[in-house]
Amino acid sequence: MPDSHLPRKLLQLLKLHLPQMLATLRRFVTAESPSLEKAAADRCCAIIAEAWNKHGARVERIAQKHRGDLLRISHESRKTRPTGQLLVLGHYDTVYSTGALARMPFRVAGGKAYGPGTFDMKAGIVQALFALEALQQSEISLPKRLVFLWTSDEEIGSEAARKFFETEARRSDAVFVLEPSFGPRGLLKTARKGVGEAELTVHGRASHAGLAPQEGVNAIHELARQLARIERWNDLRRGVTINAGVIEGGTRTNVIPETARALLDLRALRVSDMRSLERRLHALRPFHRGARLEISGGFGRPPLERKMSATLFARAKSLANQMNLTLGECTAGGGSDGNFTAALGIPTLDGLGAVGDGAHSSREHILINAMPQRAALLAALLASL
Ligand SMILES: [Zn+2]
């Protein structure tokens, strides 16, 4: 039975470390780290590595060719042999190009810390760092090995990092994702929609709209009918959405258009809905004789179904109660790397990072006072599993 006073002890300890947490956040944020600028990202990676190095954990830098290097940090209790592994996952890349810092400098005002990547998700990395430090200082013997993995291409789809965190997730009993929480109350993200993109192209036959209309097959008319059909697949209550975000086609009004295409955003909360949406898309048949449809794409990130996080969330909630904090949950319409780890069948709890607002905008900030709380919650979770 774990010590029921532990969460509160961790919180007290971490509250004392708030000034250092904020100073560390400043160092991480003032090293800009756009996903697409390797040199800058690598400089930030080195600064994060240096901070973790001080804590006696094993820090490994995994070289990447086109993206910032990855950081893998592992920690085991010296007293006991680990009986498994827990993965703490996050990314240090941001959506801002270098130079953004000049327009939105790191600053502290009204209990908030502003700056590019504060909320999404450098404060999460800081919280994890101090969570580990608090666990070390409290000399708790941790049942499992802890692995922290900081990636560098989450904001552009995780193409390079995916195989590394999937390998690490497969070895783990649970994955904790330090993506931002939601709203001022810091709701955890216990479900995330799967996200995809598809392209529907219609091939018709061009002809003179006045002289030989009977010889043409109008690709735009065909596409319009297909989109009207597809629109009816939306089911907001089930969390299924399909959105035609871009269309193009045709050349001039007196020409029957030969091609037209639409780009579709696809989202679903359930794996079964994701599959059926993909199946229905690929089963589309033309209305007009002579038209041909070409369909490509599909879901890039599968849904994180709530059942993959339910047990971990219940644990987090009871640990938060022991700290006199209330913890809520929500469903996110967008994906994260947690979608991938949950799809492997590994229990995944997401949104454990900072409390704040304005991700991907010039208003991006975190609530400073929530940092020790969230760090304590993570530490308590890592010690309790
Ligand atoms: Zn993020």
Q: How far is the CA of 27 from the centre of ligand 1 (A)?
A: 18
56-82 tens-digit pLDDT:
789 999 999 999 999 999 999 877 788
Q: How far is the CA of 123 from the centre of ligand 1 (A)?
A: 11
List C-alpha distances in Å: 195 to 181, 236, 291, 341, 373.
19, 15, 29, 15, 31
Residue 302 three-state SS: coil
Q: How far is the CA of 372 from the centre of ligand 1 (A)?
A: 20
Q: How far is the CA of 81 from the centre of ligand 1 (A)?
A: 33
Q: How far is the CA of 93 from the centre of ligand 1 (A)?
A: 8
Q: How far is the CA of 200 from the centre of ligand 1 (A)?
A: 29
Instruction: Please state the rounded mean pLDDT for residues 166-195.
Output: 97
Strands 292-301 and 241-249: unpaired
Q: What integer pLDDT is reported at residue 2 of this predicted model? A: 57
Residues near 222 by beta carbon (within 8 Å), at least 6 away in sequence = 202, 204, 260, 286, 287, 288, 291, 293
Q: Which of 11, 130, 106, 118 is nearest to 366 (CA)?
A: 118
Q: What integer pLDDT is reported at residue 197 of this predicted model? A: 96
Percentage of the chain beyond pLDDT 90 is: 95
Q: What angle do CA 230, 236, 239 make, to 5 degrees?
A: 100
Q: Which of 113, 135, 146 is nearest to 11 (CA)?
A: 135
Confidence of residue 1 (pLDDT cuts 50, 70, 90): very low
Q: How far is the CA of 39 from the centre of ligand 1 (A)?
A: 20
Q: How far is the CA of 336 from the centre of ligand 1 (A)?
A: 7
Q: How far is the CA of 179 from the centre of ligand 1 (A)?
A: 5
Instruction: Please state the rounded mean pLDDT for residues 113-120.
Output: 98
Q: How far is the CA of 234 from the centre of ligand 1 (A)?
A: 27
Instruction: Please state the rounded mean pLDDT for residues 360-366.
Output: 96
Q: How far is the CA of 78 from the centre of ligand 1 (A)?
A: 33
Choice among 48-57, 259-268, 322-331 with the minimum mean pLDDT: 48-57
Q: How far is the CA of 90 from the centre of ligand 1 (A)?
A: 7
Q: How far is the CA of 74 from the centre of ligand 1 (A)?
A: 22
- Say if CB 206 and CB 258 are below 8 A apart: yes
Q: What integer pLDDT is reported at residue 58 of this predicted model? A: 92
Q: How far is the CA of 257 from the centre of ligand 1 (A)?
A: 42
Strands 255-256 and 207-208: antiparallel
243-268 tens-digit pLDDT:
999 999 999 999 999 999 999 999 99
| 97 DSSP 8-state letter | P
CA torsion 136→141→145→151, rounded to 10°? -20
Q: How far is the CA of 206 from the centre of ligand 1 (A)?
A: 46
Q: Which of 195, 223, 165 is nearest to 341 (CA)?
A: 165
Q: How far is the CA of 124 from the centre of ligand 1 (A)?
A: 10
Q: How far is the CA of 155 from the centre of ligand 1 (A)?
A: 6
Residue 189: alpha-carbon gap to chain centroid: 10
Structure tokens at 315: 């644990």
- State the burial class of residue 139 (Cβ atoms within 10 Å of its Cβ: 0-12, 13-18, 19+): exposed
Percentage of the chain beyond pLDDT 70 is: 99
Q: How far is the CA of 167 from the centre of ligand 1 (A)?
A: 20
Q: How far is the CA of 91 from the centre of ligand 1 (A)?
A: 7
Confidence of residue 54 (pLDDT cuts 50, 70, 90): confident
Q: How far is the CA of 175 from the centre of ligand 1 (A)?
A: 15
Q: How far is the CA of 138 from the centre of ligand 1 (A)?
A: 30
User: Please, what is the average pLDDT of the chain?
Assistant: 96
